Amino acid sequence: MAPDGISVSGAAIDQMMPMHVQIDGQGRIAHLGPTLAKLDAANFEIGAPFSDFFEMRRPPIIGTLRDLRRAAGKPLRLRLRDPFNTPLTGLAAVLPETGGVLMNLSFGITIVESLRRYPLTSTDFAQTDIAVEMMFLSEAHTAVMNEWHKLYRRLDGARTAAERDAATDTLTGLFNRRALEDSAARLISAELPFSLMAVDLDFFKEVNDTLGHAAGDTVLQHVARVLRSVTRGHDTVARVGGDEFIVLFLGETDPVAIARIGERLLERLNEPITVGQEIAQISGSLGSVSSLLYEKPNLERMIRDADEALYESKKEGRSRLTIRGAPDAERS
């Protein structure tokens, strides 16, 4: 019987205090509120001693049911004897009829962490419990963070795509002049040796004139694939003009090695290219220089010297590679 003759049913107590525990006059668990009973990791047993499942933390003097009755009305700090040592706050009231104790419990500020451990929702708490508001705040925070991460991923993807587009030739997918300059600047700044090869297509104008510009685009895309196939992943391959390409070979300055690469490239460029129902035939003229030829390498100077070597290849009959030696004094 409650004060002033008001009788409160067990169902009403369960609804108003879903995280309560009733302790009988012998200090044993007589009843658990429905939310507390859902904490399966605690392995509660009705009829087992209260102290088997709950450790009193404050006040520290509580060791018996008598001590607990004396602490009625005072804030309590407990810890579940579960695998997580879940902290709880509590408030106890003496049950005169049985000599036992009714203790209402709460997760307190650990509500969010506890919700990760146990499958609880807002319906497991009294609607007046601050835990409900904290759950709503946690859910709102999670929703906002999820949306923020989605937005960040979209923005990051857009930024990456924009950077890729800004550095890529649209038709061939190779790097463009800007990306070539950035790559060369990094190599020169780091004082890393490299060779530069200029590539110019022979008879490309004839393809455009006889088969059309669409066929020319197909040929350029084919050449891009060939250039990728004869270079390494860390080399830089760029389209810098209509049918002009530049390759930076990182760490490769041996003329013999460059000559072998050039031979493979020329062989591939000489292969007939199927364009619809037609066959396009091109070749390539190549010119190459090494960064080791220069006291202070400069991309524009190296391209100019490689172009001069390339034109020597054209004068010698095309479809060949000219590797330039040390620049002469008057061009230094």
pLDDT in tens, 243-301: 999 999 999 999 999 999 999 999 999 999 999 899 999 999 999 999 999 999 999 99
H helix intervals, the chain: 10-16, 34-37, 65-70, 111-117, 130-166, 177-189, 204-211, 213-230, 255-269, 299-315
How many domains would you assign to the chain? 2
Residue 155 lies in a domain: no
What are the Cα distances from residue 262, in Å, to 12, 104, 180, 198, 231? 89, 84, 20, 11, 10
* Residue 114 and residue 248 share a domain: no
CATH code for the domain in which residue 286 is found: 3.30.70.270
Angle, CA of 319, 322 and 327, to the nearest 5°: 155
pLDDT at residue 31 is higher than 80: yes
* Residue 129 and residue 181 share a domain: no
CATH code for the domain in which residue 75 is found: 3.30.450.260
DSSP 8-state symbol, 25: T
Residue 170 lies in a domain: no
Range of the domain at 78: 3-134
* Residue 327 and residue 182 share a domain: yes
Residue 154 lies in a domain: no
pLDDT in tens, 98-129: 889 999 998 877 777 777 788 777 777 776 66
Contact between 306 and 198 under an 8 Å Cβ cutoff? The reply is yes
Residue 119 lies in a domain: yes
pLDDT in tens, 308-332: 999 999 999 999 999 997 444 333 3
* Residue 236 and residue 97 share a domain: no
Last residue of a domain, one of 134, 149, 165: 134
Residue 141 lies in a domain: no
Closest C-alpha among 208, 318, 201 to residue 269: 201
* Residue 93 and residue 231 share a domain: no
Last residue of a domain, one of 134, 149, 168: 134
Q: In whole angstroms, what is the distance from residue 331 CA to residue 232 CA?
A: 32
pLDDT in tens, 125-169: 776 665 555 555 555 556 667 776 776 677 666 554 544 557 799
Residue 143 lies in a domain: no
Q: In whole angstroms, what is the distance from residue 68 CA to residue 65 CA?
A: 5
Residue 264 lies in a domain: yes
pLDDT in tens, 203-253: 999 999 999 999 999 999 999 999 999 999 999 999 999 999 999 999 999
pTM of the model: 0.53
* Residue 211 and residue 318 share a domain: yes
